[in-house]
Amino acid sequence: MSTAIRTALVTGATGFIGAALCRKLSREGVRTVAVTRALTRASSATTPLAGLPGVTLVETPSFEVDPLREALRGVEADVVFHLAAYGVHPDQRDSELMIEGNVDLVARLLLATEGWPLRRFLHAGTCSEYAPAAEPDRLTEAHPLAPQSLYGAAKVAASVYGAAFARKLGVPFVTLRLFGVYGPGEGPHRLIPYLVQSLARVELPSLTGGAQARDMTYIDDVADAFLAAARAPELAPYEAYNLCSGVPVRIRDIALTVAELLGRKEADLGLGRRPYRSDEPMWLVGDGDRFQRATGWRPGVSLDEGLRRATLSALEAASAGSGTGAT
């Protein structure tokens, strides 16, 4: 049986997943505080959170403990959704910022919210925390943590340190390890928007061979999963759960589907023009049964439907960016 929540704090709220979660919380009538670094007047007006009923944007000059506490003065929440992290974008590879934007950030947020009547602190982890697995094994929460990337290592450290620190503070801290997330609102560097933009401009994309198998969940389903996690009393504190579909799909098959949806089935997609990354696993598929049993959540959008929606959204964005209508 799930429990209603009245108030929420969201970090990373202007990002891809954070914005989708805030929209979901708004529709559910949850009073939400979205904390972000100080924005310019122009960016405040264009943030994806602008005008969302029940969502208040709180700006902080930094994520050091004291400025964060000051920004959150007078704020309390039932649930914290901690989605902010450094290292998500390919350009974010500074080793010191990797620690500051993950381990330090979760510790500072726990201190800044100390004393709140929190029912749950939900921390966004990642499948990159796991050691490589061989096909066809699906990664369970018992799989060894031995990341191949700096980002994965920083997220492991944040999850483990966050759980230990939260236990000391008496905060019910839970990590949700996300696998692939896709859909409207993705950054232009991500596979679907990049491919759509290249094909719309009649440019040759540059992709790997696309043999990687990934576990993809549509963005709206991910937002639903976070809300289900906030409400489900069966979720055990200080533990981690996989948030995934459990369905493998090859990157090249995603690319071919996008091209077909655009009416460019015979287009050269540039498969093989780019080498695989040295830290890139070829098989990354999760087992989400434990999370699904605890929350009752199930993905509701099929891969075919999700790719259709994501491709249409990316085409609309590409057309708007070029100043021309879709053809």
Cα separation, 194 vs 202, whole angstroms = 12
116 occurs within a structural domain:
yes
How high is the pLDDT of residue 37?
87
Distances in Å between the Cα of 88 and the Cα atoms of 82, 299, 301, 326 are 14, 23, 24, 30
327 occurs within a structural domain:
no
Distances in Å between the Cα of 232 and the Cα atoms of 119, 175, 228, 293 are 11, 14, 6, 10
Question: Do 176 and 35 belong together in one domain?
Answer: yes
Distances in Å between the Cα of 128 and the Cα atoms of 10, 38, 161, 176, 245 are 22, 30, 17, 12, 16
- Which structural domain, as residue segments, surrounds residue 151? 7-181+218-243
Could you tell me the sign of the dihedral formed by the alpha carbons of 306, 150, 18, 207, in that order? negative
How high is the pLDDT of residue 3?
75
295 occurs within a structural domain:
no
Question: Do 237 and 261 belong together in one domain?
Answer: no
Q: Is the pLDDT of residue 325 over 70?
A: no
SS3 4: coil
Confidence of residue 209 (pLDDT cuts 50, 70, 90): very high
SS3 262: coil
Mean predicted confidence (pLDDT) in 125-154: 97
Tell which residue, 137, 109, 143, has the closest CA to residue 123. 109
Please give the share of the chain, as a percent, with pLDDT higher than 70.
95
Question: Do 194 and 237 belong together in one domain?
Answer: no
Beta bridge partners of 139: 286
Cα separation, 307 vs 311, whole angstroms = 6
Question: Do 148 and 23 belong together in one domain?
Answer: yes
How high is the pLDDT of residue 326?
37
36 occurs within a structural domain:
yes
User: Mean pLDDT in the chain?
Assistant: 94
C-alpha 178: how far from its chain's center? 7
- Phi, psi angles (nearest 5°) of residue 152: -60, -40
Question: Do 195 and 125 belong together in one domain?
Answer: no
CATH number of the structural domain spanning residue 94: 3.40.50.720
| Structural domains counted in the chain | 2
Cα separation, 12 vs 6, whole angstroms = 20
Question: Do 135 and 278 belong together in one domain?
Answer: no
Question: Do 66 and 192 belong together in one domain?
Answer: no
Cα separation, 311 vs 196, whole angstroms = 7
Residues 9-57 have pLDDT tens digits of 999 999 999 999 999 999 999 999 999 988 644 455 557 898 899 999 9
57 occurs within a structural domain:
yes
How high is the pLDDT of residue 327?
27
Please give the share of the chain, as a percent, with pLDDT higher than 90.
90
How many of the other CB atoms lie within 10 Å of CB of 326? 11
Could you tell me the sign of the dihedral formed by the alpha carbons of 69, 73, 78, 83, in that order? negative
Question: Do 44 and 154 belong together in one domain?
Answer: yes
Which residue carries 């749950």 as its tokens?
Answer: 120
294 occurs within a structural domain:
no
Question: Do 26 and 157 belong together in one domain?
Answer: yes
Question: Do 58 and 74 belong together in one domain?
Answer: yes
- Indicate the pTM of the whole model: 0.94
Q: Is the pLDDT of residue 263 over 90?
A: yes
CATH number of the structural domain spanning residue 188: 3.90.25.10
Question: Do 155 and 116 belong together in one domain?
Answer: yes
Residues 86-122 have pLDDT tens digits of 999 888 999 999 999 999 999 999 999 999 999 999 9
1 occurs within a structural domain:
no
Q: Is the pLDDT of residue 184 over 50?
A: yes
Which residue carries 């950054």 as its tokens?
Answer: 187
Angle between helices 150-169 and 105-112 (to 10 degrees): 20
Quickly count helices (H) and strands (E) in the chain: 11, 11
Question: Do 235 and 267 belong together in one domain?
Answer: no
291 occurs within a structural domain:
no
Cα separation, 206 vs 275, whole angstroms = 10
